[in-house]
Amino acid sequence: MEEHLVGYLLDTLDAVTHKRVEAYLNTRPEAQARLEELERALAPLGEDRDEVEPPPNLVVATLARVAEHQCRHLPEAPTPSSYQVGNPAWRWVRPIDWMVAALVLVLVGGIGAPLLMKQWRSHERQVCANNLRQLWAGLEGYADQTEGTFPRVEFEGPRSVASIYVPLLREAGVLGEVTPR
């Protein structure tokens, strides 16, 4: 019922809703207090309740102004400046612009490529060093579990490669993730 209080004050409710709101207000004193609060808040709006008569011929005057604006003549477009394409003075600038752009790209590539390669090599060395540290930690963990012995590499067969350490250490649960290169 609270949502109908403003409509009750402005007398915009239908008859059935108006009677329900009146019954609600008669049974609840807090709702009556809320209604009085809303009435005080809406009181300044009552001053604007009177309808103001628009000036005579307002519609006709407005339409005349719109028509005047639509029918006015626009000034001619400005002449092109000397730096626009198609102008003979502009044609010699275009190849120079291309040459400057190409020179900048060559310089950036010549300076940037070695720096990029240096960073890439440094990253690769760091990844390798981290892998070796993890492998060493895994070997130490394996040695701790097997009373000081390291995994054994076979002389023949499928387990005769040095990289067999990684699966053996993973099976023992002592090697973490190794970063692939």
Write the pLDDT tens digit of every residue in 48-58. Answer: 767 778 888 88
Residue 90 has pLDDT above 90, yes or no: no
Tens-digit pLDDT profile for residues 165-175 = 788 888 888 88
Q: How many CB atoms neighbour CB 142 within 10 A?
A: 21
**With contact defined as beta carbons under 8 Å apart, do 153 and 168 qualify?**
no
pTM as predicted: 0.40
How much is the average pLDDT of 21-28?
88
Find the angle CA(153)-CA(159)-CA(161) to the nearest 5 degrees: 70
Q: What average pLDDT does the structure give for the chain?
A: 82
Task: Report which of 166, 162, 181, 160 is spatially closest to residue 135, judged by C-alpha positions.
Answer: 166
pLDDT given for residue 56 in this prediction: 86
